[in-house]
A and B are shown apart, each in its own frame.
Chain A
Amino acid sequence: MPGKRHDIRLTNLAVGYGGTPVVSDVNVTLPGGKITVILGGSGCGKSTLIKHILRLHDPLSGAIHIGPHNIMELTRRQWACLKLRLGLLFQDGALLGSLTLGDNVALPLREHTRLKPREAYELAVSKLALVGLEKFAHLYPNQLSGGMRKRAGLARAMVMDPAVLFCDEPTSGLDPINSAELDQLLLELKERFDITVVVVSHDLASMRTIADHVVVLGEGRVLFDGSRDELEATRDDYLRRFLDRLAQERTAPRLSTSRLDPSLLKMDCSELWEQVQE
């Protein structure tokens, strides 16, 4: 089983669904003990890539090495053991709705360890304390805000002391303060537990705060693989537009559609609409 600080090596990897590749020709190494941010526009296959790395789906071709192990060649039992050292924070937390936060975080401990239920719960609460949610252990996921659900998801991903932590868009949908707090939390977790972190994001501010290494996806392939400083210094046209948040140039005017005619409404709102317009 891999210890901590093991690289994740993707070789000639093609991932996709139903035989259709979403990202192909992936040849990158995500360095161990560092934070790698996989960057790219919406729908470019970032989440697809990490779900394939975690074998939620089988890759179309290629190899995935975590440390010395090609995970495609592991037996079911070996993969089950290795999986316990991998944590994933889902985009919206993916907490089980029928369990409280404490029980959600305690679930892997109850299933995989010989801890008594009480001990597992106490350990889960201590993990919730890492993300500042220990006082909310008795609440259900639907009683929490989006940011709290993400932090609880992070506590659950960390509960088995993973060697590699994957985070799927941890800051999406959060306000700037909560995003910054989550970034700090990831940096602290990496330092404190000496783990490898892989973050999928399109949040440039977050990338600039946490990334040691950056992989940029786009057009169905890897567009960039290198350090954050190298990325900032790039002269590649697409990457510069992405980093400088410049809109794609359009040949046709965007605002060419006509305005909605109030007379088309089923209700007669014309008088009210005119008053609001004034």
Chain B
Amino acid sequence: MNQHTDAAESANALTPLTLLGSKSLRLFSEMGAMFLFCLHAMRLIFSSWGQFPKIIRQIYFIGVKSVTVIALIGLFTGMVMGMQLYFALSLFGADGFLGTGVALSMVRELAPVLTAIMVTGRAGSAMTAEIGVMRISEQIDALEIMGINPMSYLVSPKMAASIISFPILTSLFNLIALFGGWLTGVLLLGANEGVYFYRVQQSLEWDDISGGFLKALVFGVVVCTVSCYQGYFTHLRRDAVGPEGVSQATTHAVVMSCVLILMSDYVLTSLLW
């Protein structure tokens, strides 16, 4: 009897530690599964020529349909940066470096990160919901029965489209944000136009641009992997089932994507510059 009581007490004492351990194990296990999921999806991108039209359709959905929101966010982010930097630099009489500040902050950091977060909200959540609904309504089972690999049919085209679309959307963000910086800094606040564009051109090096593209590419893979994975395995969720499971999966996908974007941004920034 005493032995039983002791065992129960020690189990109770270990509960927070056990909980932490089991949560960590589950997290690492999920990360590993997601990594394998990503590799599998990438391998199937080139499985047949039939993938090409599906990829085009996904580029339209992920890329083209995100243009408006990316343009708007880019414009206002550039305008805010132009305004804030102008005020800060003017204090030191350094408003000539406005172009440098706007260009470097946009190309290196803000454009890839904000683009990825916006596309997560617009397309990532839709990917999770679409695949999740297909999972709970047996449409994915139907694909398997028809001999169609659901990974190849559903996930790989989205992966390819994300890899293509994210860098292009990031470039668009950069261009429009530089225009936004010019709009407030030069047009509204009176900084010198020639100096602004000279500084933009002079301060940006190839490493900055390629680094920004690399980040966009990594973010594209991260967002697509997390979103598709969460949808694909909706039926295995422990916290909710059915439509509620899809909604939980969608929320989880968006939050997890945003966290992973910022974490990988830090790692990439440390490695690149």
List A residues at the B interface (Cβ < 8 Å).
Answer: 51, 54, 56, 80, 83-84, 86-88, 90-92, 94-98, 107-108, 110-112, 156, 160
Q: For residue B50, which residues in chain A have a CB less than 8 angstroms away from its CB?
A: 110-111
B142 at the A interface (CB under 8 A)? yes
CB of A123, distance to nearest CB on chain B (Å)? 15
Q: Interface residues of B: mostly helix, strand, loop or mixed?
A: helix
Assuming A96-B139, A112-B147, what are 4 further A-B pairs, CB within 8 angstroms?
A: A56-B141, A80-B147, A84-B147, A94-B142
Checking B130, B133, B142, B148 against A90 with a beta-carbon cut-off of 8 angstroms, the contacting residue is B142
| Contact in complex: B138, A94 (CB < 8 Å) | yes
Using A92-B137, A94-B139, A97-B139 as known contacts, say yes or no to A111 and B145 having CB atoms under 8 A apart: no
Q: For residue B139, which residues in chain A have a CB less than 8 angstroms away from its CB?
A: 94-97
Q: For residue B141, which residues in chain A have a CB less than 8 angstroms away from its CB?
A: 51, 56, 90, 94
Residues 129-159 of B, flagged 1 when their CB comes within 8 A of A and 0 if not, give 0100110011101111111100001000000
Q: For residue B133, which residues in chain A have a CB less than 8 angstroms away from its CB?
A: 97
Q: For residue A87, which residues in chain B have a CB less than 8 angstroms away from its CB?
A: 145
Checking A51, A92, A98, A111 against B146 with a beta-carbon cut-off of 8 angstroms, the contacting residue is A111
Using A96-B142, A97-B139 as known contacts, say yes or no to A111 and B148 having CB atoms under 8 A apart: yes
Q: Which residue of B lies closest to A54 (CB)?
A: B145
Q: For residue A80, which residues in chain B have a CB less than 8 angstroms away from its CB?
A: 147
State A264–B139 Cα separation when bound (angstroms): 43
Checking A56, A91, A97, A110 against B144 with a beta-carbon cut-off of 8 angstroms, the contacting residue is A56
State A80–B134 Cα separation when bound (angstroms): 22
Among residues 189 to 243 in chain B, which have CB atoms less than 8 Å away from a CB atom of chain A? none
State A83–B146 Cα separation when bound (angstroms): 7
15 interchain pairs, CB-CB under 8 A: A51-B141, A56-B144, A56-B145, A83-B145, A91-B138, A92-B137, A94-B138, A94-B141, A95-B139, A95-B142, A97-B133, A107-B146, A108-B146, A110-B50, A111-B147
State A107–B147 Cα separation when bound (angstroms): 11
Q: For residue B138, which residues in chain A have a CB less than 8 angstroms away from its CB?
A: 90-92, 94
Q: For residue A94, which residues in chain B have a CB less than 8 angstroms away from its CB?
A: 137-139, 141-142
Q: For residue B147, which residues in chain A have a CB less than 8 angstroms away from its CB?
A: 80, 83-84, 108, 111-112
State A25–B137 Cα separation when bound (angstroms): 30
Checking B130, B144, B148 against A107 with a beta-carbon cut-off of 8 angstroms, the contacting residue is B148
Chain B contact-residue range equals: 10 to 19
CB of A96, distance to nearest CB on chain B (Å)? 5
Q: For residue A86, which residues in chain B have a CB less than 8 angstroms away from its CB?
A: 145
Q: For residue B153, which residues in chain A have a CB less than 8 angstroms away from its CB?
A: 111
Using A110-B50, A111-B50 as known contacts, say yes or no to A96 and B145 having CB atoms under 8 A apart: no
State A160–B145 Cα separation when bound (angstroms): 12
Q: Which residue of B lies closest to A85 (CB)?
A: B147
Q: For residue A107, which residues in chain B have a CB less than 8 angstroms away from its CB?
A: 146, 148
| Contact in complex: B145, A88 (CB < 8 Å) | yes
Give the 4 A-B residue pairs with the shortest CB-CB distance, closest first: A94-B142, A94-B138, A108-B146, A88-B145
State A56–B145 Cα separation when bound (angstroms): 8
CB of A57, distance to nearest CB on chain B (Å)? 10
Q: For residue B146, which residues in chain A have a CB less than 8 angstroms away from its CB?
A: 107-108, 111, 156, 160
Q: For residue A108, which residues in chain B have a CB less than 8 angstroms away from its CB?
A: 146-148
Residues 226-268 of B, flagged 1 when their CB comes within 8 A of A and 0 if not, give 0000000000000000000000000000000000000000000
Q: Which residue of A lies closest to B152 (CB)?
A: A111
Q: Which residue of B lies closest to A96 (CB)?
A: B139
Q: Which residue of A lies closest to B153 (CB)?
A: A111
State A201–B83 Cα separation when bound (angstroms): 70
Q: For residue A156, which residues in chain B have a CB less than 8 angstroms away from its CB?
A: 142, 146
Q: Which residue of A lies closest to B57 (CB)?
A: A98
Q: Which residue of B lies closest to A117 (CB)?
A: B53
Q: Which residue of A lies closest to B143 (CB)?
A: A96
Q: For residue A88, which residues in chain B have a CB less than 8 angstroms away from its CB?
A: 142, 145
Residues 21-44 of B, flagged 1 when their CB comes within 8 A of A and 0 if not, give 000000000000000000000000
Q: Which residue of B lies closest to A84 (CB)?
A: B147
CB of B26, distance to nearest CB on chain A (Å)? 17
Q: For residue A90, which residues in chain B have a CB less than 8 angstroms away from its CB?
A: 138, 141-142
Q: Which residue of B lies closest to A168 (CB)?
A: B138
Q: For residue A51, which residues in chain B have a CB less than 8 angstroms away from its CB?
A: 141
Q: For residue A112, which residues in chain B have a CB less than 8 angstroms away from its CB?
A: 147
State A107–B50 Cα separation when bound (angstroms): 12
Q: For residue A96, which residues in chain B have a CB less than 8 angstroms away from its CB?
A: 134, 139, 142-143
Among residues 161 to 196 in chain B, which have CB atoms less than 8 Å away from a CB atom of chain A? none
State A108–B149 Cα separation when bound (angstroms): 11
State A106–B148 Cα separation when bound (angstroms): 13
State A79–B146 Cα separation when bound (angstroms): 12
State A90–B144 Cα separation when bound (angstroms): 12
Q: For residue A98, which residues in chain B have a CB less than 8 angstroms away from its CB?
A: 130
State A48–B205 Cα separation when bound (angstroms): 61
Q: Which residue of B lies closest to A82 (CB)?
A: B147
CB of A93, distance to nearest CB on chain B (Å)? 9
Q: For residue B144, which residues in chain A have a CB less than 8 angstroms away from its CB?
A: 56
State A80–B149 Cα separation when bound (angstroms): 10
Q: For residue A95, which residues in chain B have a CB less than 8 angstroms away from its CB?
A: 139, 142
